[in-house]
Amino acid sequence: MKLMLTCKQASQIISQSLDNPLSWQDRLRLKFHLFICDACTRFNQQLHLLNTVIKRIIKTTESDNTIQLNSEAKARITQAIESSSH
């Protein structure tokens, strides 16, 4: 097994790690690479930040009572409901 990864390979494995559990070989290679590489460590942080922030923004948006269907849209949907029953 080849232990050394290039940064390009490491970045691909980091992205995959967000979606699927890594094989133990990839996990080991990645750990080793992150230990010696600041750039990929930062890339790893970037992707995790993106993930965390997006989830948080979604929760915030869902509970933001100031965001509402405008009256036009509401009227249009009411209309559609009416005409669907005829």
Partner 1 sequence: MTNNANDWLNEHGDYLYRFALARLRDPHQAEDAVQETMLAAIKNNSFEGESSARTWLTGILKHKIIDLQRKLIREQPISDLVDLDASETSMDDFFDKSGHWLEKPQFLEMPENALQQKQFLSILNTCLDKLPAKLSAIFMMRDVHESDNENICKELNITATNAWVMLYRARMGLRKCLEIHWIAG
Positions that interact with Zn ion (CB under 5 A): 7, 10, 37, 40
Q: Is 16 in the site for partner 1 (CB under 8 A)?
A: yes
Q: Residue 32, Cβ neighbours under 10 Å: how many? A: 14
Nearest to 27 by CA among 10, 42, 44, 43: 10
CB of 5 to Zn ion, least distance (A): 7
Q: Would you tell me which residues interact with partner 1 (CB under 8 A)? A: 6-9, 11-12, 15-16, 18-20, 38-40, 42-43, 45-47, 49-54, 56-58, 60-65, 67-69, 73-74, 76-78, 80-82, 84-85
